[in-house]
Amino acid sequence: MSKKLHVTIVDDDSSRAIILEKALKDAGYEVIAVLRSSDNLLMHIEQRQPDVIIVDLESPNRDSLESMRIVTQHNPKPIVMFTNDADNSMISEAINAGVSAYVVDGFNESRIQPIMNVAIARFREFQALRSELEKTKTSLEERKIIEKAKGIVMAQRQCNEDEAYQILRSLSMDNNKRIIEIAEQIVSITEALKQ
């Protein structure tokens, strides 16, 4: 990799954190901070922008990290959660399903590289899926507006659906605008006239 990935560790068990830090460094990562649960994780993320966050599943910061995933203004980051508690490995399926976090059962130094790779790959997949979903949502919204505009044209011109669409299309070409923009104009003008 051209630039070393920046990693932040959150762990209250300092001896475990030291081992983790060394293993990450050996694997070619740059550990930019080792924080405790009580440190201000959100501020750290904003200021230092780590590429990956590694956190103990039993850290209260889980709730903050979860909110970051939802609030888009805070850049989402791949999160690796680890646990040494056998009970907790049962919930890893639930968390892995959320995909922005990746849970590992214990931290074996020799497995660091593959764990990090999988976590980052899964995160990127998730981000791609999310932007795809956003796109689908917009095109659905757009389709609704175009349908509405078509309905208005059909009523105005007493024409059928195909003809209405053709009219929208030629308006779009004549004005050098996208069909959705034309449709939005028609809908908003019609609604303004109704009032």
Partner 1 sequence: MSNENILEKTALNIGFIPLTDCATLAIAKEKGFFEKYGLDVYLSREASWANIRDKLAYGVLDCAQMLATMPITSTLGIGGWKKDTVSSMVLGVNGNAITVSNNLYSELKDRDEGFDKVRPVTADALKAVIDKRKAQGKKPLTFAHVFPASTHNYFLRYWLASSGINPDTDLDLIVIPPPQMVKNLEADMVDGFCVGEPWNQFAVNSGIGHALITSYEIWNNAPEKVLGVNKEWAYNHPNTHKAVVKALIDAARWIDKPENRLETAEIVSRDEYINVPTDIIRGPLTGEYKYDPESKPVNFPDFNVFYKYTATFPWHSHAAWYMSQMIRWQDIPDSLDTRNIINDIFWVDFYREIVSEMGLDFPLANCKSEGTHRGSWSIDTKNGSLEMSSDLFFDDEIFTF
Q: Does 10 bind partner 1 (CB under 8 A)?
A: no
Number of residues that bind partner 1 (CB under 8 A): 29
DSSP-derived secondary structure for 85-98: -HHHHTTHHHHHHH
- Please, what is the end-to-end C-alpha distance for the chain in angstroms? 61
CB of 61 to partner 1, least distance (A): 6
Measured from the CB atom, the residue of 1 and 97 that comes closer to partner 1 is 97
**Which residues are CB-neighbours of 97 under 8 A, at least 6 positions away?**
none
Q: Which parts of 48-87 interact with partner 1 (CB under 8 A)? A: 57-64, 66-68, 70-71, 73-74, 87
Separation between Cα atoms, residue 118 and residue 22, nearest integer Å: 20
Q: How distant, in Å, are the alpha carbons of 99, 155, 188 from that of 79?
A: 9, 54, 44
CB of 67 to partner 1, least distance (A): 4
Q: Residue with structure tokens 């590429």?
A: 51
Q: Does 140 bind partner 1 (CB under 8 A)?
A: no
**Which residues are CB-neighbours of 109 under 8 A, at least 6 positions away?**
19, 22, 23, 26
Q: Where are the strands (E) in the chain, listed by range?
A: 6-10, 30-35, 52-56, 79-83, 101-105
| Contacting range for partner 1; rule: CB under 8 A; set: 94-102, 133-141, 152-160, 171-179 | 94-102
Measured from the CB atom, the residue of 47 and 176 that comes closer to partner 1 is 47
Q: Does 88 bind partner 1 (CB under 8 A)?
A: yes
One character per residue 14-43, x = contact with partner 1 (rule: CB under 8 A): -----------------------xx-x-xx
CB of 184 to partner 1, least distance (A): 21
Separation between Cα atoms, residue 157 and residue 143, nearest integer Å: 21
**Binding footprint of partner 1 on the chain (CB under 8 A):** 37-38, 40, 42-43, 57-64, 66-68, 70-71, 73-74, 87-88, 90-91, 93-95, 97-98
